[in-house]
Structure 1
């Protein structure tokens, strides 16, 4: 039973629920005019990430029509759904579907992060971090002074505990956001970064080489501003001396 709880991401979702409630409690300890706006922004980004399709791969015929006949990399067939996978796609066994430009399956969102919703996931992390930092500021401003240390701890104990939890989650979100921004800047996914040695179209490159990297500015521009399906086989063919 314990293994099933870990497999379904129960602990991760429980931690996220705890984080949400702690932030809410801290915010209500101190009344501010911007409280509702920040909560609405964070909630909106979370809903978008949860409901927006990550870029589910469709039929093999659709994929073949998108890739020109002169394309050198051959299509790979998924061993689970038996569809021909485009480059950078991966089958998610949790969602039971192939996802284009697969990054990872997020248990917080109960959804995959892929080509269509990855930018929204990064925006959600950014908004979540801003809310966390703002909650720390609000919580610190709510600490009251007392005559003795004993009275001070008694009067501020719950608030200090809440600030400690928010502080820990702030560090986690900072690290997660920093990792994703770095990967975006070099046009690499979490899956490619972690499993590079097992991915056929990357094994021929040195660790510092990436056939999809177009430079930091172009990578960031394409990621945040260009909303279209990319035929990665064409990008790979232009930059690879040894196509797979």
Structure 2
């Protein structure tokens, strides 16, 4: 069914090409190529694996002698035995700890974390544009019929394909919208779903994220920040303001 929609898209672009309108075929080709490149980039990219103990946790005896700040004590992973930075989590599928863990995506066969989360959202946006394009072309390809019976016979496969593509479009739209919201409040999917079990969140009296810097600040930091972020320092400042 989806193949039928793709055939309709290609046929529509072919008609544009025959009329000398090359802009739409070129844009669609670039959109498809960008989608493929983003898929492999997110799938193969290091999501932010924790490779070694953090500097703070490299000497536990020395750490125990230093007065503790408002930051909860960092925990050591029970699987890979590395001390996890704040917001990191061990992925059972990848068998690694991931910085600013969001979720493991079976679609990508990779974790979504601090290093590839922004590219995952760009990929969702490109996929949504491609699906909406396919919906538009498929809708324009519906042919008229003299009766409902003949109309359904002429457009049955296309209607079924429209239903499948419509479902995928809705899923991608909801997924992209939820990630935009979580990024705007500086929260991850894991933190949102498991707040009551996370040490640095469960003891806070409100639902406000301790890393929230406002929607614009959160979005700017998310898309523009380079390298790993010391979330412990951000949490300390938030805790001081919270008190």
For the superposition of Structure 1 and Structure 2, which TM-score range results when normalised by the shorter chain? 0.7 to 0.9
- The count of aligned residue pairs is 223
What residue in structure 1 maps to residue 10 of structure 2? 28
Q: How is 1:46-61 mapped onto 2 (pairs within 5 angstroms)?
A: 46-60=39-53
What residue is the counterpart of 1:171 in the other structure?
170
Alignment gaps of 5+ in structure 1: 1-17
* Structure 2 unaligned spans of 5+: 17-24
Shift of 1:150: 2.1
Structure-2 residue corresponding to 1:40:
33
The worse-fitting range, judged by mean Cα deviation, of 109-118 and 208-217 is 208-217
Distance 1:140 1:150 in 2: 18
Structure-2 residue corresponding to 1:152: 151
SS in 2 for 1:80: coil
Say if 1:92 and 1:63 are closer, same or farther in 2 by CA, change over 3 A: farther
Distance in 1, Cα, partners of 2:67 & 2:39: 41
Structure 1 residues 23 and 223, CA, compared in 2 at 3 Å: closer, same or farther?
Answer: farther
8 Å Cα contact 2:4-2:158 kept in structure 1: no
TM-score w.r.t. the length of structure 1 is 0.84
Give, in angstroms, the shift of residue 25 of structure 1: 4.1
- Once the two structures are superposed, the pairs formed by residues 65-80 of structure 1 within 5 Å of their partners are 72=69, 73=71, 74-80=73-79
- 1:160 positional shift: 0.9
Task: Work out which of the two has the higher radius of gyration on C-alpha atoms and give 1 or 2.
Answer: 2
CA RMSD of aligned residues (A): 2.3
Q: 3-state DSSP class of the match of 1:240?
A: helix
**Alpha-carbon deviation of 1:76?**
1.1
Question: Does the 8 A contact of 2:100 with 2:188 survive in 1?
Answer: yes
Distance 1:71 1:221 in 2: 31
Assess if the C-alpha contact under 8 Å between 1:77 and 1:85 holds in 2: yes
